[in-house]
Amino acid sequence: MRYLFGNGASRLAPYLLITPGLFLYALFALGPSLATVVFSFTDASGLPKLPINWVGFDNYKEFLTLGAAARENLDALVRTLIFSVGVTVIQFSLGLFVAILLNQGLRGTKFFRTLFFFPVILGVTIQGLMWTLFLYPIGGPLATVLDWFGLQSEFLGGQPREAFIWVMVVQIWANMGITMVIFLAGLQTIPDEIYEAARIDGADRGQLFRRITWPLLTPSVNTNLALTIIGSLQAWQLFYVLISYRPGTQVLGYVVYATAFGQTSGSTAGTTFRQGYGAAAGVILFLIVLAIGITTQYLLRRREARLLG
């Protein structure tokens, strides 16, 4: 658009005003983000005095092929995918289902919406501690309930597989609200008249959903899938709060953090900060996110073209 607020020096006014914001973005977000790739080819550590050397693809080779650690890394990679698929499928379906229920004009809708969204803003610390209490294995609340039925479980302290599933549960509990409100906003854009017309034509509930709701919800479906897939691939902070770095449970995001900031195997200080290696792990995670992201975008576009023409 044409600039209307004078020429010469006053033409520079908008440039002047964007400079601080742009500078901060370049320095603290975009720059470091791209520099991750550069760092992944070095042996950078977390200590300021040590020199940084180029090591080529060594970090990548080590991460993917060297001994037991590499096997653990590949396990973490598989686990990340399992976590992401599980969380995405359940959070997406549950969010859609709840949004549809809350779009029926039922009484108390506002209460349910507020309640289901509330965990989102509590943040991982409170989410995590709340569930740590709830799942406290020795006489904790859920343990007591299980005890009534003669059952018991160690929950987060149990076998890696069990702990992992509980983290998934908390992750979905914590973030389903986001999916739900995005679907609700989408549902509210569908005019009632379309449903009325279809009902007059004798469409049943299933047909209303398949022929009207689902196709017209495409923009929210796309947004939610993208957000949930990317979010769950990168998620790891609840692992940190709920079970910390435990063998057999880590996901890639946690591996990046733990190797770069020396918090592997529960120890928190004194261990090495392998930032170059951590950066390589970060780039690998990024490439996975990118590949999955592009594939889903492609599939969603094709679906959108088919549905909406």
Of 91-120, binders to another protein (CB under 8 A) are 97-98, 101-102, 104, 106, 108, 112, 114-120
Least distance between another protein and beta carbon 137 (Å): 11
Query: In this chain, which of 74, 82, 89, 185 binds another protein, going by CB under 8 A?
Result: 185
List, in sequence order, the alpha helices (H) in the chain: 13-25, 31-39, 58-65, 67-101, 109-134, 141-148, 160-187, 192-200, 205-208, 214-216, 218-234, 237-242, 252-260, 275-308
Task: Give the x/- contact pattern for another protein in 199-238, rule: CB under 8 A.
Answer: -------------------xxx-xxx-----x---x--x-
Of residues 75-94, which lie at the interface with another protein (CB under 8 A)? none
Shorter beta-carbon distance to another protein: residue 225 or 249: 225
Shorter beta-carbon distance to another protein: residue 21 or 56: 21
Q: Is residue 35 involved in binding another protein (CB under 8 A)? A: yes
Task: Give the x/- contact pattern for another protein in 276-305, rule: CB under 8 A.
Answer: --xx--xx-xx--xx--x------------
Structure tokens at 253: 């995001």
Stretch in the footprint of another protein (CB under 8 A) among 42-50, 67-75, 150-158, 159-167: 42-50
Query: In this chain, which of 50, 82, 126, 197 binds another protein, going by CB under 8 A?
Result: 126
CA distances to 28, 29, 139 from 283, in Å? 18, 16, 43
CA distances to 156, 245, 257, 298 from 161, in Å? 10, 14, 21, 33
Name which of 176, 154, 173 is nearest 246 in CA terms: 154
Q: Is residue 124 involved in binding another protein (CB under 8 A)? A: yes
Q: Which long-range contacts (CB under 8 A, 24 or more apart) does 252-257 make?
A: 252/76, 252/77, 252/80, 252/281, 252/284, 252/285, 252/288, 253/80, 253/285, 254/76, 255/73, 255/76, 255/281, 256/281, 256/282, 256/285
Shorter beta-carbon distance to another protein: residue 35 or 71: 35
Stretch in the footprint of another protein (CB under 8 A) among 29-37, 62-70, 76-84, 152-160: 29-37
Least distance between another protein and beta carbon 126 (Å): 5
